[in-house]
C-alpha cells in the first residue's frame, strides 16, 4: 500500500543523504521525496511517498525514527490528510491543438503560465492521481517536458506534525 510519511528533520548538511541512504541500504522504495525548510529554519520538512506491506512500513517508520537527525515523523496516510503535488508541463500548442489544450487544462484547473506561438506551459496542483490523469488526457506526442514537485502532505484539522 502507498504511504505518505512526513518527517521533521534537523536542517543540517547530510540529513537528506541519511534518509536516502537508509532507503537504499535497506531496499525500501521511494516514489517521491520533497524537502524544504520550515518556518523554523533549523528544521526541514520532508514528505516521502513509499509503498510496502504493513510490516515494511512499520520498519520504515522505526528506522527513520532511529536516525539521530529525525526529530518527529507522521504517517499521513494513517489518518485524514490533504495531499498536493505541483506539476509544470510544457506542451506543443499549435493549430487546432491550441484551443483543445486550453480547454483540457481548464477542466483540470490548470493555469497557463507561459505562452509562445509554439508552446504552452501549464501549472497544475492536486493529488498525484489528478496530475497522472491530466498527463494521460494529453496526446503523448504533444508533451515536451514534465516537472513534478513530489507530494506534500498535511494532516486535516487538529492533526499536525510540529514540535
Closer by beta carbon to another protein, 27 or else 141: 27
Which residues of this chain interact with another protein, rule CB under 8 A? 9-10, 13-14, 17-18, 21, 25, 55, 58-59, 62-63, 65-66, 68-71, 163
Closer by beta carbon to another protein, 58 or else 114: 58
Minimal distance in Å, beta carbon 45 to another protein? 14
Q: Which three cell numbers stand for residue 28?
A: 525500501
Quick one: the chain helix, strand, coil %, rounded to 5?
Answer: 30, 40, 30
Minimal distance in Å, beta carbon 73 to another protein? 11
Whether the Cβ atoms of residue 44 and residue 37 lie closer than 8 Å to each other: yes
Closer by beta carbon to another protein, 60 or else 93: 60
Distance, CA of 120 to CA of 72 (rounded, Å): 41
- Strand order of the β-sheet with 70-75 is 32-37, 43-51, 2-10, 70-75
Minimal distance in Å, beta carbon 10 to another protein? 6
Closer by beta carbon to another protein, 31 or else 69: 69
Minimal distance in Å, beta carbon 134 to another protein? 38
Q: Which three cell numbers stand for residue 163?
A: 514540535
Closer by beta carbon to another protein, 17 or else 116: 17
- Distances in Å between the alpha carbon of 111 and those of 33, 83, 125? 24, 19, 9
- Distances in Å between the alpha carbon of 20 and those of 15, 29, 76? 9, 10, 19
Minimal distance in Å, beta carbon 2 to another protein? 21
Amino acid at each position: 500500500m502507498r504511504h505518505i510519511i512526513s518527517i521533521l528533520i534537523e536542517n543540517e548538511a547530510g540529513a537528506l543523504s541519511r534518509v536516502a541512504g537508509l532507503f537504499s541500504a535497506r531496499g525500501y522504495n521511494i516514489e517521491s521525496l520533497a524537502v524544504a525548510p520550515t518556518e523554523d529554519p533549523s528544521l526541514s520538512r520532508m514528505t516521502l511517498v513509499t509503498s510496502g506491506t504493513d510490516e515494511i512500513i512499520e520498519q520504515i517508520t522505526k528506522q527513520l525514527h532511529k536516525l539521530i537527525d529525525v526529530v518527529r515523523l507522521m504517517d499521513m496516510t494513517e489518518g485524514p490528510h490533504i495531499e498536493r503535488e505541483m506539476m509544470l508541463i510544457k506542451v506543443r500548442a499549435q493549430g487546432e491543438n491550441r484551443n483543445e489544450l486550453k480547454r483540457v487544462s481548464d477542466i483540470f484547473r490548470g493555469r497557463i503560465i507561459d505562452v509562445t506561438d509554439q508552446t504552452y506551459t501549464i501549472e497544475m496542483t492536486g493529488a498525484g492521481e489528478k496530475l497522472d490523469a491530466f498527463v494521460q488526457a494529453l496526446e503523448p506526442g504533444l508533451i515536451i517536458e514534465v516537472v513534478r514537485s513530489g507530494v506534500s502532505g498535511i494532516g486535516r484539522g487538529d492533526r499536525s506534525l510540529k514540535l
